[in-house]
Structure 1
Amino acid sequence: MNFKDFEGMVAIVTGAGKGIGYEIASKLVRNGASVIINDNDPELIKSASDSINAIGPGVTYPIAGDAGDIDLVQQLVDEAVQRFGKLNVVVANAGITLFGDFLKYEPQAFQDVMRVNLQGSFFLAQRASLQMIKQQSGGSILFMSSVTGQQAHKDLAAYAMTKAGLQMLAKNLVIELSEYKITVNTVAPGATLTERTLEDEDYKSTWARITPMGRAGTVDDVANAVLFLVSPQASQITGQTLVVDGGWSAVSISPF
């Protein structure tokens, strides 16, 4: 596909300091977009912005803060408009994963996961939609889900709830936003090689063994799917979840 469709477009990507979010922002910039990028770590997001800006031809502007905070969400939208004049694409990628036995899961851990993964994504979509409606030029919103939103995974009950919820949110917003020409979709990655997952020395080999395609995914695999769904070439696709897992969810072999 021709990603040059992003020239002159303005995007927001949360959770973009590293991993999947970084790669999404990087690809958008390489294809001409201006991108507000966010991460909770000020030093990390500043470093990410410097690194991506060196690539060009687009540009990033970093904003540090908690993506579950509604005031921060509004700041991201406001900054996009003030700095770049409009908003076309939003990727609600920020999320936290807190493993825990269901029978021992603590209320604070539950609330933290819900706040970032659901509240942050919901209100980012809401505030971005209001701006897109004001512009009268449509737009694209994408939520980052997970195969755990479709298949059970040990010690991830709360996290899985949020990821399944994001898939349903995308479907429901078809009713709310299609009249404004705003598409809303979800990407659900399976096992993906990132800085965090590679801290487990067995992660790569384990998932290569149980994934039908013979390897864990990469951030490039996921970012390519995201860019397609937020591009003008996917303007007739909305309310959908695209699973990027090398076929794992078709067989669901446990890593344990």
Structure 2
Amino acid sequence: MSEISSVLKTFIAYLKRPDLYPELRRKIIKNTLQRKNAFKGKEKTNSWAASHAMSQQEAISKLFGMEMGSFRNEYAEVLKNAGQKQMDCPIKMGGAGALELIYYACEFAGARNVVETGVAYGWSSLAALLSLTKRDGTLYSSDMPYLAQDGDQYVGCIVPDTLRPNWKLFRFADKESLPKIFAENSVFDVIHYDSDKSYNGRFWAYNELYKHLRSGGVFISDDIGDNSAYQDFCEKNNLETMVVEYEGKYIGLFVK
């Protein structure tokens, strides 16, 4: 599909969804009236992230006091089935990411309420739910529909039916989803951010999410090397953060 036809298809899909008009308006303003600046401080941020980076295993040990060895073995069959569902999916979405980091964050926090932004196939959702269901907890997820790909039906497709009773999925942009989520539950044990990659989108969401993270809760953000939003947020709030390097990308995390 050409870029022009993809944009046109996305625009038409937005027009069919009045509930997504606020996000459509923001996108139009961003792409026509605002100066484009997608990567604010990327070089600076990657240098900073690289200087702080450690492995996923090291971070889990240092921050949570846990060993991560058992996760892949304990849930081998679940992960195998999830991988097959991804292979069978006709829509291309984001990959698995650092599943152990999310799972052990939930274990460390004794999580009963978790919020995440960004779902795609549902790998991060799966990791959180595998921990949450031990305590009959709830995962609240925010994810924009995949309008250009007709991919709505496949969002979260790898999450097995047995885990879905503990999952609430909100299909809007973060600026619409998060207020709805906070109206249902106001305090969270773990937060995982993996949605809007823009500087302004991140900085807005970080501030909103941080207000609802309990003391002793865990904050995780993927892809922090895209721009300096995460670094600037941590510096602004005097937060001591860890950085994990995973498959060539950087993840930020801290305990509040």
Q: Give TM-score, length-normalised by structure 1.
A: 0.45
- Asked which structure has the greater RCO (Cα within 8 Å, sep 6+), the reply is 2
